[in-house]
Amino acid sequence: MTSEIAVMNQRAIALAADSAIAMIDGGKIIVRNDQRKLFQLADGLPVGVMVFGNSGLMGHPWEVLLEHYGKAAAPKPQPHLADHALSFLAMLDGLEKFFPQTRQKDEYRRLLGSVLRFVFRLAHYLYENGVQGPDEEILRQAITLVWERYNTYADGTARRDLSCFPPGFADVVRRDYGAAADELIAYSFAAFPLDQRSRDQLKEIAVLCVVKDLFLEEISGLVFAGYGAADHYPSVLTCQVSAVVGGFVKRTLADEMRIDGDLHSAIAVYAESHATYAFLRGMEIDLEAQLYGYTQAIAYELVDQAVDSIPDADPVQREAIRRQFQSERIPQAMRKWYDGLTAYQQEAYLNPMLAVLEIATRQELAETAQDLVALNILKKRMTAQNQTVGGAIDVAVISRDSGFSWWKRQGG
């Protein structure tokens, strides 16, 4: 795993990343502490790149792909940080030297296999949370839920196709990879007597998992940070990259955080940085989720007790009251609970730290980024967990006038 931090104000941005990498060998987790995860995009550019998740693409480390970009593409200054990110990602399309067509069918199988494993994990989650029925029925529900997620966003609107693929690319996937999809689906679900509807949905998922704006598979996260030529202040941009299919790399620009005249400082946290989250917000994210779940469960239980204790109530009226509280009142109360908690965290924890960072020097930004990564290393060590965050911490500082410079680097 990985811990990566970006800390920035109007003067500069500091990046810090640990150096641990975990590998599984025969069920045993092996950790090495010599993995570089922080790089300069190319010589002379005020842009840094941090990598988390998968350490490479189709067998090639990101370090090698970034080096190739710097030498072969001869990148020039771009107007904005996002243009730098798009330039690098566009270079990956059609890159036969690294991603030969003869191996892309295996890459597609890896992508689809990862999605099918997600389907089985979802089915297990449904079972663990009380969904009743035979295995194939629970699996059918999981398949339908995944199919629905690929087709619509949470608000019910149609999910868009990724812009990294040309129009009509779904037909290309269906034509060129349909046989591979059928083979993998048949192998994965051979033990389950699925109905035709579920099998049809799986065949659609085999296409949608490539072209749709949803990443249920294993991915690489790329964090681009720094300046474009027209940028007055630094920004940080996150990209998700998944697989090479049909000569194109599945990817999307996930989110961007910009320093400007209103936002004077910011901290961005990536990957396995739970201790950093707890320091910044006063509570670990897992504990926050547990408290939310416990509070919600108690609320539902209290409503049941209150409704059941109403003397001489008409059963129909009693159930109507119960449904109103369960579908409206409790969700509204939980939203107020969460909004109140996050407002307090912002005021009591984040705002004071951000106020200090507004006036921080470049060295103070670098020290802060390093210390925030070190928190996660300390937690791993003190809780006797696998040291999947650890090793040396690389730190770089990027400013508009001085460009990219190493503040601390493995090997000196």
CA pair distance 33, 388, nearest whole angstrom: 9
Summarize pLDDT for 188-246 with one digit per residue, the tens. Answer: 999 999 999 999 999 999 999 999 999 999 999 999 999 999 999 999 999 999 999 99
Burial of residue 47 (CB within 10 Å: 0-12, 13-18, 19+) is: buried
pTM here?
Answer: 0.90
Q: What are phi and psi of 173, to 5 degrees?
A: -60, -45
Summarize pLDDT for 297-335 with one digit per residue, the tens. Answer: 999 999 989 888 888 778 888 888 888 988 899 999 999
Q: Give residue 185's identity as a one-letter amino acid code.
A: I
**Could you give all domains of the chain from N- to C-terminal order, each with its CATH number?**
3-98+217-283+346-408 (3.60.20.10), 101-211 (no CATH)
Summarize pLDDT for 60-83 with one digit per residue, the tens. Answer: 999 999 999 999 888 899 999 999
Average pLDDT over residues 120-126: 95
Task: Find out whether 256 and 235 touch, Cβ atoms under 8 Å.
Answer: yes
Quick one: tokens of 349? 């924890």
DSSP state, 237? E
